[in-house]
């Protein structure tokens, strides 16, 4: 099947210039081709293979109105011949934003769930009852953000595609799957740093540990989650962060997304400015894509593009 033969080009590694450190490198996952560019291919790969193995033709997953995960799942489902359903947090707003319109264009059927109900999305009995009431047929369920054991296994493989002399892998963290995959895949001398993209993300430590429960050799591995660079949450893009993204594009020639990698790079630059980055370790930072999220921030996008 096309899924099994799907291959990716080599990942481009770009050196990041900063006046106080010379050991930052950017892994350009954002340049990987769709379907499911960025880190999403690695999180979806084994989920799609499991759905195929089980003979299930329909994918069902969850996300907010500007979800990179919904965007990528719709792409991958369309490309590999699956049907797809997206359960969206909140009420429907017409016209659809560009992210959800893209999902519809790729054949994804959208359903909307109240925020109160959405908080129960991990309760199997509740989801089954909700789907029955909405007359949604059964399918292969992928959790929000794609973060499950299959995602961990896919991201684990990504470690081997990064430079062999990498000492620290730095990634933004939303639902924990990407970070857990790196922790599962790193060598004993390597570290994983995560920058939480949402406010009050202490719970992610337990979520990551839970995702790692199938990997017995991770107890002694070195990782940490930084909680101070969320800027208020997923949809928050204050002027200071926007200015950083503008300056980064001007100096580095690279467009960051407004939700994840922008916060990650701001955090690392802040640590570098405070001389809190190790000088003798190669830090590879993941650019996980998601630039289409700018279309959901029209005012910020206009300011960004005007510079």
Q: What is the DSSP string of 89-113?
A: ES---SSPPHHHHHHHHTTEEEEEE
User: Which pLDDT score, from 0 to 100, does residue 307 have?
Assistant: 55
User: Which pLDDT score, from 0 to 100, does residue 236 have?
Assistant: 81
How is residue 74 written in tokens?
A: 């719709």
Identify the CA nearest to 51 among candidates 181, 150, 184: 150
Query: Which of residues 7 and 307 earns the better pLDDT score?
Result: 7
> Can you say whether residue 290 is alpha, beta or left, with left for phi > 0 and alpha for psi between -120 and 50 degrees?
left
Strand 13-15 and strand 24-28: pairing? antiparallel
Please give the backbone phi and psi of residue 35, each rounded to the nearest 5 degrees, phi first: -80, 145
Identify the CA nearest to 110 among candidates 130, 81, 89, 124: 89
Q: How many helices (H) and strands (E) does the chain have?
A: 12, 10
Digit-coded pLDDT (tens) for 1-39: 556 667 788 999 999 999 999 999 999 999 998 776 789
CATH class of 40-146: alpha beta
Digit-coded pLDDT (tens) for 264-273: 999 999 999 9
The whole-number average pLDDT for the span 211-217 is: 84
CB 268 within 8 Å of CB 170: yes
Identify the CA nearest to 85 among candidates 96, 100, 97, 98: 100
User: Which pLDDT score, from 0 to 100, does residue 110 have?
Assistant: 97
Query: Which of residues 78 and 296 earns the better pLDDT score?
Result: 78
CB 252 within 8 Å of CB 16: yes
The confidence band for 306, taking pLDDT boundaries of 50, 70 and 90, is low
CB 173 within 8 Å of CB 225: yes
| Domain-wise residue ranges, the chain | 2-34+148-306, 40-146
Does position 297 have pLDDT exceeding 60, yes or no? Answer: yes
* pTM score over 0.85: yes
The whole-number average pLDDT for the span 110-136 is: 94
Q: Which residue has the tokens 């069902």?
A: 60
The confidence band for 91, taking pLDDT boundaries of 50, 70 and 90, is very high
Does position 291 have pLDDT exceeding 80, yes or no? Answer: yes
Whole-number Å distance between alpha carbons of 178 and 91: 28
- What are the residues whose beta carbons fall under 8 Å from the beta carbon of 206, sequence distance 6 or more? none
Whole-number Å distance between alpha carbons of 213 and 23: 32
The string of DSSP letters for 112-124 reads EE-HHHHTTTT-H
User: Which pLDDT score, from 0 to 100, does residue 217 have?
Assistant: 74
The whole-number average pLDDT for the span 151-162 is: 94
Question: If you average pLDDT over every residue of the chain, what do you get?
Answer: 91
CATH class of 2-34+148-306: alpha beta
Lowest-confidence segment of 27-36, 72-81, 114-123, 214-223 by average pLDDT: 214-223
Q: What is the CA radius of gyration of the chain?
A: 19
The confidence band for 301, taking pLDDT boundaries of 50, 70 and 90, is low
The whole-number average pLDDT for the span 190-213 is: 94
| Percentage of residues in the chain having pLDDT higher than 70 | 95
Does position 130 have pLDDT exceeding 80, yes or no? Answer: yes
CB 71 within 8 Å of CB 83: no
Whole-number Å distance between alpha carbons of 127 and 1: 31
């Amino acid at each position: 099947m096309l899924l099994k033969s799907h291959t990716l080009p080599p990942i481009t590694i770009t050196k990041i210039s900063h006046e106080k450190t010379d050991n930052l490198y950017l892994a350009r996952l954002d340049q990987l081709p769709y379907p499911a560019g960025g880190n999403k291919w690695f999180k979806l790969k084994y989920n799609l293979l499991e759905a195929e193995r089980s003979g299930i033709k329909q994918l069902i997953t969850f996300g907010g109105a500007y979800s990179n995960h919904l965007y990528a799942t719709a792409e991958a489902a369309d490309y590999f011949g699956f049907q797809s359903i997206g359960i969206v947090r909140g009420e429907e707003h017409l016209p659809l934003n560009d992210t959800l319109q893209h999902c519809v264009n790729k054949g994804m059927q959208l359903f909307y769930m109240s925020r109160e109900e959405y908080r129960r999305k991990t309760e199997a009995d509740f989801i089954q009852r909700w789907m029955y009431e909405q007359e949604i047929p059964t399918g292969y369920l992928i959790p929000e953000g794609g973060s499950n054991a299959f995602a961990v296994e896919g991201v684990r493989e990504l470690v081997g595609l990064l430079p062999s002399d990498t000492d620290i892998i730095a990634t933004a963290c939303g639902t924990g799957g990407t970070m857990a995959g790196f922790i599962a895949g790193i060598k004993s001398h390597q570290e994983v740093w995560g920058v939480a993209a949402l406010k009050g993300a202490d719970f992610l430590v337990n979520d990551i540990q839970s995702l790692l429960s199938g990997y017995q050799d991770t107890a002694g591995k070195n990782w940490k989650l930084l909680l101070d660079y969320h800027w208020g949450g997923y949809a928050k893009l204050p002027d200071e962060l926007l200015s950083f993204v503008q300056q980064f594009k001007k100096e580095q020639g690279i467009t960051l997304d407004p939700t994840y990698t922008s916060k990650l790079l701001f955090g690392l630059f802040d640590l570098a400015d405070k001389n809190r980055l190790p000088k003798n370790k190669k830090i590879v930072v993941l650019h996980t894509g998601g630039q289409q999220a700018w279309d959901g921030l029209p005012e910020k996008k206009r300011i960004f593009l005007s510079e």
